[in-house]
């Protein structure tokens, strides 16, 4: 069909929306008159045509874009607050009044200078407060001049990759591992090399066998995502040694290390690194709330200028309002108080989940490590389709992630990630009953 076949018509918008539902209309690309109209109005400017859909040729996009998996899809990413949702903290217990005061104070005190372009590294006061927190509670060796404020963990990985990696460089990842990291690294052009984990974390001997040309490894040593174990001291030393020998980088993601229920928190890998191989990343998404979109990177001093260049090229700098509020939140002790309260709330929620699993799911699953973090992973019997179980749970108001979506390679164990952070104990117990019902239907 050519453009001459289309003759402009006019019609009221509400009529148009009804009439043009399910109708295919050829759009005029770049039409200067209609380009900014809402879609329904734009459609209404042209007469109806043959509704046979003609598959549009796939627009030419980069190899990197095509390497990024489309599951879970970006549009599914605004997470409803329902039991077992993975990645959400206790938003019902967030100290909103104290936070609102900090934000309002920042807003009122803003000067014209603070409305201008700001430091790409982030607000000094926030970097000082984060450095202090990381030294005291995570044994990270750092000063404020090593800290870059970024909009979350994936951005941290993109900036690290832009600084340290060539397109097509091989990057080792834990198998299973964090799909957000897989996505960010693939989008940066990396070739992912899956390396298995066991009870001690990443299997460093396998990493060594996978070849000398691996340029970096992404790890979650404090709380392996998704299986939950802590990397042992001997593995940590072996990994640091491997990185130094191979001139490779370690991308350490310390995403939810604040919450540990059985023993004293284990320090960060970065604190054991005497040879500046570790790029340490953290986030406020779990300790506070995901919509804050504040994360940080601790950069070895020798790489600081290079990281600053990449960070500046990435998105100039972070909005300053929340940075200022967050600095005050940390300085005034609200953050430490919040973490203390959350540790006991999460312990109660985790225990409710474990009780419910024992009561309602019995021998239908086995629980992997539950010592830390905001979710528990359970293993299902071989042969069970965990994506199908997750979909059926979703239809009954319970949101889980299938363990199989955490793998890069073809061998995938079935299981489910059950978030316990965002729901009260009573709702978690109820959700375990639903899970038990769904699993019983599945194995019947």
Ligand X SMILES: Cc1ncc(COP(=O)(O)O)c(C=O)c1O
Residues binding ligand X (CB under 6 A) = 87, 152-154, 178, 180, 220, 225, 253, 255, 283, 285, 290, 295
Phi, psi (rounded to 5 degrees) for 228: 100, -5
- CA–CA distance, 157 with 281 (Å, rounded to integer): 8
C-alpha closest to that of 439 among 399, 396, 401, 389: 389
| Helix, strand or coil, per DSSP, at residue 357 | helix
Q: In the complex, what is the shortest distance from the CB of residue 309 to ligand X, in angstroms, rounded to a whole number?
A: 22
Phi, psi (rounded to 5 degrees) for 321: -60, -55
| Helix, strand or coil, per DSSP, at residue 3 | helix
C-alpha closest to that of 226 among 262, 181, 182, 177: 177
Q: In the complex, what is the shortest distance from the CB of residue 129 to ligand X, in angstroms, rounded to a whole number?
A: 18
Q: In the complex, what is the shortest distance from the CB of residue 125 to ligand X, in angstroms, rounded to a whole number?
A: 21
Which helix (H) or strand (E) covers residue 43, if one does?
helix 39-44
What single DSSP character describes residue 408? S
| Helix, strand or coil, per DSSP, at residue 79 | coil
Toward ligand X, which CB reaches closer, 63 or 291?
291
Toward ligand X, which CB reaches closer, 255 or 280?
255
| Separation in Å, CA 315 to CA 188, 312, 354 | 15, 6, 42
Q: In the complex, what is the shortest distance from the CB of residue 87 to ligand X, in angstroms, rounded to a whole number?
A: 3
C-alpha closest to that of 222 among 369, 334, 333, 366: 369
Toward ligand X, which CB reaches closer, 226 or 436?
226
Q: In the complex, what is the shortest distance from the CB of residue 252 to ligand X, in angstroms, rounded to a whole number?
A: 11
Toward ligand X, which CB reaches closer, 180 or 265?
180
Toward ligand X, which CB reaches closer, 174 or 273?
174
Q: In the complex, what is the shortest distance from the CB of residue 375 to ligand X, in angstroms, rounded to a whole number?
A: 8
Toward ligand X, which CB reaches closer, 42 or 253?
253
Toward ligand X, which CB reaches closer, 88 or 327?
88
The closest residue (CB) to ligand X is 152
Which alpha helices (H) appear in 151-275, and where do they start and end?
Answer: 153-164, 179-187, 204-209, 233-246
Which alpha helices (H) appear in 83-178, and where do they start and end?
Answer: 96-109, 124-138, 153-164
Q: In the complex, what is the shortest distance from the CB of residue 225 to ligand X, in angstroms, rounded to a whole number?
A: 4
Q: In the complex, what is the shortest distance from the CB of residue 427 to ligand X, in angstroms, rounded to a whole number?
A: 20
Other beta carbons less than 10 A from residue 225's beta carbon? 25
Toward ligand X, which CB reaches closer, 364 or 398?
398
Toward ligand X, which CB reaches closer, 248 or 297?
297
Q: In the complex, what is the shortest distance from the CB of residue 228 to ligand X, in angstroms, rounded to a whole number?
A: 11
Toward ligand X, which CB reaches closer, 85 or 146?
85
Half-sphere exposure of residue 369: CA atoms within 13 angstroms, side-chain side: 21
Q: In the complex, what is the shortest distance from the CB of residue 426 to ligand X, in angstroms, rounded to a whole number?
A: 24
Toward ligand X, which CB reaches closer, 178 or 249?
178
Taking each helix axis as running N to C, give the angle between helix 320-331 and helix 334-360, from 0 to 180 degrees, rounded to the nearest 10. Answer: 90
| Separation in Å, CA 329 to CA 16, 70, 139 | 51, 37, 21
Q: In the complex, what is the shortest distance from the CB of residue 255 to ligand X, in angstroms, rounded to a whole number?
A: 3
| Separation in Å, CA 287 to CA 52, 99, 129, 301, 373 | 51, 13, 15, 26, 10
- CA–CA distance, 290 with 154 (Å, rounded to integer): 13
């Amino acid at each position: 069909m050519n453009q001459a076949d289309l003759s402009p018509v006019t019609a009221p918008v509400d009529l148009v929306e009804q009439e043009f539902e399910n109708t295919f209309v050829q759009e005029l690309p770049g039409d200067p008159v209609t380009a900014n109209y809402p879609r329904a109005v734009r459609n209404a400017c042209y007469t109806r045509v043959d509704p046979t859909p003609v598959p549009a040729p796939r627009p030419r996009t980069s190899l990197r874009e095509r390497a990024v998996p489309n599951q879970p899809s970006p549009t599914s990413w605004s997470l409803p607050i329902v039991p077992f949702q993975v990645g959400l903290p206790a938003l019902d217990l967030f100290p909103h009044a104290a936070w609102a005061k900090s934000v309002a104070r920042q807003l009122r005190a803003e000067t014209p200078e603070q409305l201008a372009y700001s430091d790409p590294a982030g607000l000094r006061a926030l970097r000082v407060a984060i450095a202090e927190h990381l030294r005291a509670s995570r044994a990270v060796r750092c000063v404020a001049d090593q800290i870059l404020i970024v909009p979350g963990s994936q951005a941290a990985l993109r900036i690290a990759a832009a600084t340290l990696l060539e397109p097509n460089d091989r990057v080792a990842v834990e198998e299973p591992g964090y799909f957000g990291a897989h996505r960010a690294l693939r989008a940066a052009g990396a070739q992912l090399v899956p390396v298995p984990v066991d009870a001690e974390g990443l299997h460093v001997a396998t990493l060594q066998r996978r070849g000398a040309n691996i340029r970096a490894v992404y790890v979650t040593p404090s709380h392996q995502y998704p299986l939950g174990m802590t990397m042992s001291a001997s593995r940590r030393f072996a990994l640091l040694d491997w990185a130094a020998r191979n001139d490779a980088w370690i991308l350490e993601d310390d995403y939810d290390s604040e919450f540990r229920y059985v023993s004293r928190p284990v320090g960060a890998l970065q604190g054991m690194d005497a040879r500046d191989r570790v790029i340490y990343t953290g986030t406020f998404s779990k300790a506070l709330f995901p919509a804050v979109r504040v994360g940080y990177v601790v950069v070895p001093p020798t790489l600081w200028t290079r990281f600053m260049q990449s960070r500046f090229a990435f998105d100039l700098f972070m909005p300053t309002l929340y940075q200022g509020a967050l600095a005050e939140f940390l300085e005034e002790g609200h953050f430490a108080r919040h973490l203390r309260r959350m540790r006991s709330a999460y312990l109660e929620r985790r225990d409710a989940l474990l009780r419910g699993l024992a009561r309602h799911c019995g021998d239908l699953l086995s629980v992997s490590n539950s010592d830390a973090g905001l979710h528990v992973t359970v293993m299902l019997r071989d042969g069970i389709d965990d994506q199908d179980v997750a979909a059926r749970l979703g239809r009954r108001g319970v949101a889980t992630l299938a363990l199989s979506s955490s793998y890069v390679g073809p061998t995938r164990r079935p299981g489910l990630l059950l978030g316990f952070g965002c729901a009260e104990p009573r709702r978690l117990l109820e959700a375990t009953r639903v899970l038990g019902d769904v699993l019983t239907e599945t194995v019947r």
